[in-house]
Amino acid sequence: MNEKTKPSAVQLAYADILSKVTLLGMVFLGLGLFIYVFELRPSMVSAATVSEHWHMRASEYTQHLQTPNGWDWIEHIFYSDILSYASIIFLSMGTIGCLIVTTFAFFKEKDRIYTAISIAQVLILLLAASGIVGGGH
Amino acid sequence: MKLCWVTHSKTKNLTLSFAQMQEIIRRFAMKLMASGLFVLAVTLPSIAQAQELAASEPTSWWVWLVSLFLFTFCLGMVAVVAGVGGGVLFVPIVSSFFPFHLDFVRGAGLLVALSGALSAGPLLLRKGLANLKLALSMALMGSLSSIAGAAVGLSLPTNVVQISLGVTIIFIVAIMLMAKKSDYPEVKKPDALGQALHIHGIYYEESIKEDIPWQVHRTPVGIFLFLVIGFMAGMFGLGAGWANVPVFNLVLGAPLKLSVATSVFVLSINDTAAAWVYLHKGAVLPLIAVPSIAGMMLGTRIGVKLLAKAQIKSVRWIVIILLFLAGTRALLKGLGI
């Protein structure tokens, strides 16, 4: 690889954050499921109850079992199934975090077009994460 | 480097070189993958039968958890060798043969595809094989449409989604059979939008030890196609590599390796957008999503090591047949047959 083919500073910054977030995310996923499956903490909905209802549609499932909606799960974070769920949320936040870093990196390089595209992308993902668009039942 | 193994029962020394040890491990891994394929082919009908019995004779949840992990592990190995994304295999096959509702399978499918993209991402970026500007330009519209696709998919009746999924999977099989590839497409002149967005670059092609300059054309067409792809990916919970790569390569004119690598980023952004809709609608269950992610990621790691020695064509054919069967089953399920 030479200077011409070397990835840009922005790309390398994205890669650095992405590798850290992904590694942490995988660790949380494993820990979360371990705690849930081996019942190291009480759960809101036990694994056995989940298996009795996982043939249902998601909307029917959440209504039937009264599982938390949108961001309401935060209040119940110390339940094992919610902890496991939170680890999935962390992984889903990973891309947003990387894009925020990328936005600053493009801004530093005075690349207006990609600063604007990155900001727009972050806003779209934050909109999806907020649950305003297509979220909740 | 030599390793000395001394057995306790005998005084004979077995001396193996490091290369010989590697070969033994590779052969073992090949047998493991072949066993994985055999397991998939033989147990799928049994799993389907178990699914039908599940209503009257509930199987312990942990049996499904372990089965799902092992199944996605085999799928991950096979997916890499066959050159197919794990996401596109996961949804049709798991929804056909496990007792989970299609909503939860699609939610897990998006996360499986997302996790694969997140793990592959850093290396591809550091090697300069993926291009962030190319990815961001296409992902912006794709992420919007994937949110819409996810919302629509979770609102439609299940049988409509099943039928659409079945048709889409059969269409994907057709693309896999017919799509051409171009290692280094010729782009004589970039279009105005591509130039304005500075979508061009140079990457180092290791296989020929050369710098490959590249640029794109038909950028507006590409953006429109990514809108369509994003919608489908969100609706069906599929990774979209099967569509992203041909659009980058054949429509926009990006080199094949760059297309494959950059597709990973578009996938990570679009799938993240759609995954949030599934999360908020309660269509993600950790008991299904986490073992699937773990199994698929471990399987793909092994699959990458097998890639050099595997008989890719045979494995690819098996995967195509598997996908066709799963797509047909989804279609028949949706039609109530």
Task: Kindly report, residue by residue over B117-154, the tens digit of the pLDDT.
Answer: 888 888 888 887 888 899 999 999 999 999 999 999 99
Q: Which of B274, B285, B334, B51 is nearest to B154 (CA)?
A: B274
Residue to substitute from A85, A92, A98, A112, interface B, most B β-carbons within 10 A: A92
Both structure tokens of A23: 């590694």
How much is the pLDDT for B49? 53
Among residues A19, A107, A95, A106, the alpha carbon closest in space to that of B143 is found at: A95
Chain A residues with CB-CB distance to B111 below 8 A: 88, 91-92
Chain-chain contact of B290 with A47 (C-beta, under 8 angstroms): no
For residue B314, pLDDT beyond 80: no
More confident residue, A116 or B4: A116
Q: Output phi, psi for A7, to 5 deg.
A: -60, 155
Q: Which residues of A touch B272 (CB under 8 A)?
A: 92, 94-96, 125, 128
Residue B265: the pLDDT is 86
> In which band, very low, low, confident or very high, does the pLDDT at A33 lie, cut at 50, 70 and 90?
very high
Give CA separation, B243 vs B90, B174, B266, in Å.
16, 12, 11
CB-side neighbour CA atoms (13 Å) of A93 = 12
Longest dimension (CA), chain A: 60
Residue B7 parent element (H or E): none
Q: What would the pLDDT profile of B151-201 be if each residue is shown by its tens digit?
A: 999 999 988 998 998 898 888 888 878 877 777 888 888 899 998 998 988
Query: Distance between CA B110 and CA B296 in Å, rounded?
Result: 12
Residues 6+ positions from B306 with CB-CB distance below 8 Å:
B26, B29, B30, B33, B77, B80, B81
The answer to whether B149 touches B213, Cβ cutoff 8 Å, is no
Kindly report the length of chain A: 137
| Euclidean distance between CA atoms A95 and B265, whole angstroms | 9
Which long-range CB contacts under 8 A does A102-107 form with residues at least 24 apart? A102/A10, A102/A13, A102/A14, A102/B132, A105/A9, A105/A10, A105/A13, A105/A14, A106/A10
Q: Are A21 and A98 in contact (CB under 8 A)?
A: yes
Other CB atoms within 10 Å distance of the CB of residue B335: 11
Q: Nearest residue on chain B to A129, judged by CA atoms?
A: B276
Closest CA to B322 of B90, B110, B33, B164: B90
Residue B231 pLDDT exceeds 50 = yes
CA-to-CA separations, A128 to A70, A122, A132, in angstroms, rounded: 11, 10, 7
Q: Percent of chain B scored above 70 by pLDDT?
A: 80
- Chain A segment 38-97 residues within 8 A of B by beta carbon are 47-48, 50-52, 54-59, 61-62, 67, 69-70, 81, 84-85, 87-89, 91-92, 94-96
Q: Do B126 and A15 touch (CB under 8 A)?
A: yes
Q: Closest Cα to residue A1, out of B263, B183, B125, B119?
A: B125
Position B45 pLDDT exceeds 60: no
**φ, ψ dihedrals at B13, nearest 5°:** -95, 130
The structure's pTM equals 0.83
Give the ipTM of the model, two decimals please: 0.92
Q: Does A37 touch chain B (CB under 8 A)?
A: yes
The whole-number average pLDDT for the span B92-100 is 89
State whether residue B290 is helix, strand or coil.
Answer: helix
